[in-house]
């Protein structure tokens, strides 16, 4: 059994090169977080979940953090997180530092002249990922803007760090801040599945035509002993051209649900399923694995997914061979018919202590302090 106690600090990349600053903080940092969509939308996708978690975490640490977004009316989220119009960026000295969230966000910083930290999910080049063909030129333009304007770039994983360095060299400096999960989750409540049903949960967007094909075939192959439930949007049509991206009716499609609502599904499902969008690890940073493990749900994950290190560390799940439907079926049956492979309570505690959004906020704070007081 693996020792998952916090002292080992497993799998938590930190901001390499930044010294811990031990001086007393003498004033409140003013941080603007630039988001490219409606920040008031319900937090059903990881983009809005992350936005709220990081913003609220900074505020709880005493930072004056505000979300800046293309909204018509200013207000607050949950009465705590201020949301401002983009025009606020035209005012001098409004923020000590601005953080952008995704590729498109860098195009919204307007007249802001101070330091910028940019975060993107995956690095795009002239050929890969293939599913980004339609938006490739825009994404490459955003990356050029980030290289010129940002003092630091935040990425989720080493695979994308290597791609950035191959394309752009050592500027700006790169910090790894992976996805997180809540430190606190609701206690198990009602079971949303049919009595006796062996539910295989697929949480999050269906983001490529390949994932549709995999889900449809998997649902048919496991019909004798389990059923796939989807919570999220089928966005495969955005990337698939003329390819048929319809889901098989055998899959139970719940659509989008709020973050608060998903925990009953995670805590009562039998398996959490993770599929690769394609063959390249840099394009397969799968955030759902963090929530599966935080909720104590064994994970069935495909090779080429970079977050599989968490399954190997915790032992809570299995990894099936890339593009091998037979192996998916065999491993799913083994997880459903066999015992839970490890003590899920230990894994849940490990995820809360080592991979929570609070831990990610600490990394951001250290980065902000290093930049503003270098």
CATH of the domain at 213: 3.40.50.2000
Report pLDDT digits (tens) over 95-132. Answer: 999 999 999 999 999 889 999 999 999 999 999 999 89
Q: Is 264 among the domain residues?
A: yes
Within this chain, do residues 11 and 149 fall inside the same structural domain, yes or no?
A: yes
| Domain count for the chain | 2
Provide the pLDDT confidence category of residue 11 given band limits of 50, 70 and 90: very low
Provide the pLDDT confidence category of residue 239 given band limits of 50, 70 and 90: low
Region 341-364: mean pLDDT is: 96
Q: Is 193 among the domain residues?
A: no
The closest alpha carbon to 206, from 243, 233, 184, belongs to 233
Within this chain, do residues 267 and 337 fall inside the same structural domain, yes or no?
A: yes
Within this chain, do residues 257 and 146 fall inside the same structural domain, yes or no?
A: no
Check whether 31 has a pLDDT greater than 60.
yes
The closest alpha carbon to 201, from 291, 278, 282, 276, belongs to 291
Report pLDDT digits (tens) over 217-230. Answer: 999 999 999 999 99
Query: Helix or strand or coil: residue 124?
Result: coil
Within this chain, do residues 95 and 165 fall inside the same structural domain, yes or no?
A: yes
Region 40-64: mean pLDDT is: 96
Higher-pLDDT residue of 6, 241: 241
Q: Is 151 among the domain residues?
A: yes
Within this chain, do residues 211 and 111 fall inside the same structural domain, yes or no?
A: no
Check whether 288 has a pLDDT greater than 80.
yes
Check whether 70 has a pLDDT greater than 60.
yes
CA distance 323 to 308: 16
Q: Is 300 among the domain residues?
A: yes
Within this chain, do residues 224 and 313 fall inside the same structural domain, yes or no?
A: yes
Within this chain, do residues 212 and 230 fall inside the same structural domain, yes or no?
A: yes
Q: Is 192 among the domain residues?
A: no
The closest alpha carbon to 362, from 156, 105, 180, 157, belongs to 180
Report pLDDT digits (tens) over 293-324. Answer: 999 999 999 999 999 999 999 999 999 999 99
Within this chain, do residues 233 and 286 fall inside the same structural domain, yes or no?
A: yes
Check whether 155 has a pLDDT greater than 80.
yes
Within this chain, do residues 143 and 251 fall inside the same structural domain, yes or no?
A: no
Burial class of residue 92, CB neighbours in 10 A (0-12, 13-18, 19+): exposed
Within this chain, do residues 361 and 343 fall inside the same structural domain, yes or no?
A: no
Q: Is 41 among the domain residues?
A: yes
Within this chain, do residues 348 and 360 fall inside the same structural domain, yes or no?
A: no
Q: Is 146 among the domain residues?
A: yes
Check whether 330 has a pLDDT greater than 70.
yes
Q: Is 1 among the domain residues?
A: no
Q: Give me the domain span that covers residue 131.
A: 6-180+356-372
Within this chain, do residues 316 and 364 fall inside the same structural domain, yes or no?
A: no
Please provide the average confidence, as pLDDT, over all residues in the chain. 91
- The pLDDT of residue 280 is 96
Region 277-281: mean pLDDT is: 94
- The pLDDT of residue 235 is 83
CA distance 346 to 250: 34
Report pLDDT digits (tens) over 172-215. Answer: 999 999 999 999 999 988 999 999 999 999 999 998 889 999 99
Check whether 237 has a pLDDT greater than 80.
no
């Amino acid at each position: 059994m693996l020792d998952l106690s916090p002292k080992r600090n497993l799998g938590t990349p930190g901001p390499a090169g930044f010294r811990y600053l031990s001086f007393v903080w003498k004033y409140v940092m003013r941080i603007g977080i630039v988001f490219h969509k409606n920040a008031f939308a319900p937090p059903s996708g990881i983009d809005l979940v992350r936005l709220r978690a990081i913003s609220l975490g900074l505020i709880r640490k005493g930072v004056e953090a505000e979300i800046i977004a293309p909204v018509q009316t200013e207000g607050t989220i949950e009465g705590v997180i201020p949301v401002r119009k983009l025009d606020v960026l035209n005012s001098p000295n409004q923020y000590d530092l601005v953080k952008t969230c995704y590729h498109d966000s860098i195009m919204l910083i307007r007249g802001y002249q101070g330091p910028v930290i940019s975060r993107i999910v995956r690095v795009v080049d002239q050929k890969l990922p293939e599913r980004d063909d339609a938006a490739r030129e825009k994404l490459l333009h955003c990356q050029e803007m980030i290289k010129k304007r940002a003092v630091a770039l935040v990425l989720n994983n080493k695979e994308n760090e290597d791609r950035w360095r191959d394309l752009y060299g050592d500027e700006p400096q790169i910090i790894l801040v992976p996805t997180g999960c809540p430190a606190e989750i609701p206690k198990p409540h009602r079971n949303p599945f049919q009595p006796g049903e062996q539910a295989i949960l697929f949480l999050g967007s269906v983001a490529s035509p390949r994932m549709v094909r995999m889900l449809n075939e998997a649902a048919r192959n496991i019909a004798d002993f389990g059923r796939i439930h989807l919570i999220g949007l089928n966005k495969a049509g955005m990337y698939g051209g003329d390819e048929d991206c319809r889901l098989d009716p055998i899959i139970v499609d719940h659509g989008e649900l709020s973050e608060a609502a998903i925990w009953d599904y995670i805590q009562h499902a039998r398996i959490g399923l993770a599929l690769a969008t394609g063959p390249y690890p840099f394009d397969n940073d799968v955030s759902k694995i963090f929530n599966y493990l935080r909720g104590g749900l064994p994970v069935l994950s495909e090779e080429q997914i970079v977050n599989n290190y968490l399954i190997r560390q915790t032992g809570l799940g299995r990894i099936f061979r890339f593009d091998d439907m037979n192996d998916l079926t065999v491993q799913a049956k083994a997880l459903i018919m066999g015992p839970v492979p490890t003590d899920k309570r230990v894994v849940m505690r490990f995820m809360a202590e080592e991979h929570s959004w609070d831990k990610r906020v600490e990394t951001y704070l250290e980065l902000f302090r290093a930049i503003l007081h270098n």
